[in-house]
Amino acid sequence: MAVLVGKKAPVFNASAVINGGEIVENFSLEQYAGSKHVILFFYPKDFTFVCPTELHAFQSRLEEFEKLGVAVVACSTDTEQSHWGWLQLSKKEGGIKGVTYPIVADTNKTISANFDVLAGNYFFDENEEMQAEGEMIAYRGLFLIDKEGIVRHQLVNDLPLGRNVDEALRMVKALQFVENNGEVCPADWNEGKSGMNATHDGVASYLSEN
């Protein structure tokens, strides 16, 4: 699994569904450059079980992300038509109606591959025919990307393990605290807690106070 932290996030242009039902082409994260942080999260499949709980969970906290100047973007290897169809179904029916942030269609699987969250592998057999080993879908990857397009945090869960939106918000707030205050965040840092001055004296002072 590649570590993308500290590197430029892979660039992509792909179809996506935005605003809960509008299909657009050439969606790109570059539209947020210089103005917004981005939470980009991958999920395995439309019309499944754990995935809608995550998409609804991010939607329920979307206003908090937006107040922090963060764009939330989802992505899976399904088509834009599949995303659109799922958005037409209510939560009670297992759908994601009401989700308004962009959902990217990584139909050719290159986005998932470039972010190194693609489960399964392609290979050529003895007859030089392409085969797939494992299901070619995305793990539950999450990437926090700053305004300069640099990945500052990544988390990858196996397929059955849903994520914690509180933790995603905590990491956004921690990054913005570092950017705004020039201090670092110690273990279990949460909004309202002190940071640390990254010097010997600063660390000693923090430890004595805590």
pLDDT computed for residue 6 by the predictor = 97
CA angle at 169 for the pair 189 and 24, rounded to the nearest 5°: 155
Question: Are 115 and 24 within one domain?
Answer: yes
Global pTM reads 0.90
Residues carrying an active site annotation: 51
Question: Are 156 and 205 within one domain?
Answer: no
CA angle at 116 for the pair 145 and 167, rounded to the nearest 5°: 45
Question: Are 122 and 195 within one domain?
Answer: no
pLDDT computed for residue 201 by the predictor = 47
Domain total for the chain? 2
pLDDT computed for residue 122 by the predictor = 76
Question: Are 150 and 210 within one domain?
Answer: no
pLDDT computed for residue 192 by the predictor = 85
Structural domain contains residue 200: yes
pLDDT computed for residue 1 by the predictor = 66
For residue 12, give both structure tokens.
Answer: 């992509």
Weakly modelled stretches of the chain, pLDDT under 50? 200-204, 206-208
